[in-house]
Amino acid sequence: MAAMVLEQQQVLAAARQRFAEGGALMDSVVSPPVQRSWERSRQAGVQPRQEPYYAPLPAAATRLDDPADRRLARCVREDMDHLWAAFGGRQWTLFCVNADGLVVAQREHGLADVPVLRPIQIGRRLREIDIGTTAPACSLAEDAPALVRGNEHYLDRFASVFCLSVPLHGLDGEVLGALDITGTGERDAELLHGYFRQAALSAENRLMQDHRPCHLLAVQHDTRWLHSPLQGLLAIEEDGRVRAANRVARRLFGLPRRGPLPVLTLGGLFAGASIHQRRRLLQSGPAHRVRLDDDTAVHVHYLRGPLAPHASVKLDVQHANATNASLRAQNTQHVRETVAAHQGNVSAAARQLGISRTTLYKLIRA
């Protein structure tokens, strides 16, 4: 088996070099998304034998300036913690990039021993024109999960790297970023895809819940999937207009997968429901069954009404304050969990929290 994998990797390396020199590429060598990434890399003048280029990090790189980046980092944090507890390890990193490839959140351990992965840090942009084909680049370009391993990367330098990524979507179904696990070694790709897809749905649900001015409804055919990453979510404005729907809800109601929703009211969405059922849609209480038409129904649970836009503004101001420790470090429990995740490595924990080692020592003593 090992000999077969080695032979396959050698074939990939030879095919990639011929392709970089202007030759054609057989469709069966790599998957279509990876092939398209190779084409973009070649057009950008990237050569397989070159070293990856990483732009220098700004002095305050761990402080994200864009509120949208801070919101994305906040919404993926819990799911990244769970994924890291299950799949993290030495010489591996788990990170989230925004739609431009900027790393906005990260979990890592042991990257100091892996020079090829060490530059992956919060605040750094991972671009094909600098480092060639990677799974995050494929996910962002294709809006689909991506797996790039070994010599499927365009640079020889990444020949020992395993890289798996899934896209993250916003209120209008647009690609907001990607969630990625990268390391040296192997993982069960099929297993990872399942868990990472669920984590992406969960993070997207948090983005929906962060949309404060709207009523929030959970919908699903099966009540067992309510309050899980597989629940559909609808954001409803005060006048009854459907402002947004997550990916699951769009599928449940046959709405466009991407783009702004058509002009649609809550009454129109549930046109097949009885008058009594429609009256209950924005009322608190247990989940109840609502008919969509003669053949189908969904269970609807009213989660909450509109919220005042105060907490998110306060959070952004605190997070942007250069004289304070990061907001995450102010939470004592999160500090403990971060240090534990890095097996007591204070330097790595401080980098993840975006604070100095001195500040972290003070928090630990406190």
Phi, psi of 218 (to 5 degrees): -105, 135
Closest CA to 268 of 242, 230, 302: 242
For 231-313, list the strands marked E by DSSP.
232-236, 242-245, 288-291, 297-304
Looking up tokens 């890592």 gives 108
Answer for the pair 306, 282: CB distance below 8 angstroms, yes or no.
Answer: no
290 confidence band (pLDDT: 50, 70, 90): very high
Q: Which fold has domain 324-365?
A: Arc Repressor Mutant, subunit A (1.10.10)
Residues whose CB falls within 8 Å of the CB of residue 34, separated by 6 or more in sequence, listed in order: 133, 138, 146, 148, 152
- Does the pLDDT of residue 330 top 50, yes or no? no
22: left (phi over 0), alpha (psi -120 to 50) or beta: left
Answer for the pair 93, 106: CB distance below 8 angstroms, yes or no.
Answer: yes
- Does the pLDDT of residue 324 top 70, yes or no? no
| Residue pLDDT, tens place only, 56-95 | 887 766 678 899 999 999 999 999 999 999 999 989 999 9
Q: By three-state DSSP, how is residue 287 classified? A: coil
- Does the pLDDT of residue 315 top 60, yes or no? no
Where do runs of H (alpha helix) occur along the chain?
Answer: 2-20, 32-43, 67-87, 128-131, 135-142, 189-209, 247-252, 266-269, 275-280, 311-320, 332-341, 346-353, 357-365
- Does the pLDDT of residue 327 top 50, yes or no? no
The pLDDT score that the predictor gives to residue 312 is 44
Residues 339 and 72: their CA atoms lie apart, in Å, by 23
333 confidence band (pLDDT: 50, 70, 90): low
Q: By three-state DSSP, how is residue 248 classified? A: helix
328 confidence band (pLDDT: 50, 70, 90): very low
| Residue pLDDT, tens place only, 126-143 | 999 999 999 999 999 999
Q: Do domains 2-209 and 324-365 have the same CATH topology?
A: no
Mean pLDDT of the chain, nearest integer: 86
**Domain residue ranges of the chain, discontinuous segments joined by +:** 2-209, 215-304, 324-365
Residues 269 and 241: their CA atoms lie apart, in Å, by 10
Q: What number is the average pLDDT over the span 244-252?
A: 94
Answer for the pair 304, 216: CB distance below 8 angstroms, yes or no.
Answer: yes
- Does the pLDDT of residue 155 top 80, yes or no? yes
Phi, psi of 269 (to 5 degrees): -65, -35
- Does the pLDDT of residue 171 top 90, yes or no? no
Q: Are strands 288-291 and 297-304 parallel, antiparallel or unpaired?
A: antiparallel
Q: Dmax over Cα atoms in the chain, in whole Å?
A: 69
Tell me yes or no: is domain 2-209 CATH 3.30.450.40.
yes
Q: Could you give the percent of the chain with pLDDT greater than 70?
A: 86
Structure tokens at 338: 């971060």
